[in-house]
Amino acid sequence: MPVPIPKATRLRVLVTGGAGFVGSHLVDRLMERGNIVIVADNFFTGRKENIMHHLQNPFFELIRHDVVEPMLVEVDQIYHLACPASPVHYKHNPVKTIKTSVMGTLNMLGLAKRVGARMLLTSTSEVYGDPLEHPQKESYWGNVNPIGVRSCYDEGKRVAETLCFDYHRQEGVDIRIARIFNTYGPRMALEDGRVVSNFVSQALRGEPLTVYGDGKQTRSFQYVDDLVAGLMALMDNENEIGPVNIGNPGEFTMIELAEVVKEVVNKDAKIEFKENTADDPGRRKPDITLAKTALGWEPKITLREGLPKMVEDFRERLQVGDKKEL
């Protein structure tokens, strides 16, 4: 029998966006660690199903809350994830997206200031825009279109980073910033619109894999467990506040990704080329030297190892059998 952790010594952790893809995996790890976890989510892209398994636990609390509004809770740490992450979702209501990033982060920093909590912001590799430096180091300032269709997300996160540093310098708020590169894994929304979830759903349904543009653009894909380990390593680190790149440096063109998905899911799947979206970054690959040296973190799971874990989950949720039964 494990020795129960006395309530007074349990860390109280707020996870905004905790019902989403990344947030729900993070919540699982924090609960395992014996923390008191409060999730605040407006369920725009998140789902109760992702965290339902904790609802009966007295150390877990779920609050329907929009981070654009102020929030009063007493916590020791804040993981601030709330923000749609898929281009399809964040372009759906761009004004709401930028309000979420800017006002949501302002509110969480105000909260962190009042209660003396440490706050970690999940920023993004999108702050590098269509990068002119490759691979991207944290010192690179980026190449972002301020008025394009992706700007609500990119510029929103850039302002969120600025707010963190201003609250840190001016108010002494204890901040951490992670710049996350493309992440995939179980519990991604099926209709998320991101490339890995699209390809896996399409391959499982026997539909063609939709490659946008010429398919030569690159991304670097990390498995969600690696990301969560990186976020917790940064939150727990006493010296490094970031920004720190958290990503897997394995770089793939979209055609290569389609080939890997075919190999893992359905060898007979066809590839279909479609028109690309505006301002699509041409390439992206993290330089993770800082994460390795400062946090002792690096990703462990390759795309070929991680994909089957996601496929299993998608197969169940799409209720399709093994490829042979399709």
Catalogue the E-assigned strands of the chain: 12-16, 36-41, 60-64, 77-80, 118-124, 174-180, 183-184, 209-212, 218-220, 222-223, 244-246, 251-253, 271-274
Task: Name the residue with the smallest CB distance to ligand UDP.
Answer: 110
> Distance (Å, rounded) from C-alpha 215 to C-alpha 169?
43
Should residue 276 be labelled a site residue for ligand UDP when binding is judged by CB under 6 A? yes
State how beta strands 77-80 and 118-124 pair.
parallel
Should residue 20 be labelled a site residue for ligand NAD when binding is judged by CB under 6 A? yes
The one of ligand NAD, ligand UDP, none whose footprint includes residue 42, by CB under 5 to 8 A per kind, is ligand NAD
Least distance in Å: CB of 194 to ligand NAD?
Answer: 7
Should residue 111 be labelled a site residue for ligand UDP when binding is judged by CB under 6 A? yes
Should residue 107 be labelled a site residue for ligand UDP when binding is judged by CB under 6 A? yes
Should residue 104 be labelled a site residue for ligand NAD when binding is judged by CB under 6 A? yes
Should residue 129 be labelled a site residue for ligand NAD when binding is judged by CB under 6 A? no
DSSP bridge partners of 14: 38, 78
List 79, 128, 153, 167, catalytic entry:
153
Of 86-105, which residues contact ligand UDP (CB under 6 A)?
Answer: 87
Binding to ligand NAD by CB under 6 A, coded x per residue (else -) over 59-98, reads -------xxx------------xxxxx-------------
Separation in Å, CA 141 to CA 105, 144, 243, 264: 20, 9, 12, 37
> Distance (Å, rounded) from C-alpha 49 to C-alpha 18?
11
Angle between helices 303-318 and 254-264 (to 10 degrees): 60
140 is catalytic: no
Which residue lies nearer to ligand NAD by CB, 120 or 204?
Answer: 120
Should residue 152 be labelled a site residue for ligand UDP when binding is judged by CB under 6 A? no
Report the catalytic residues: 153
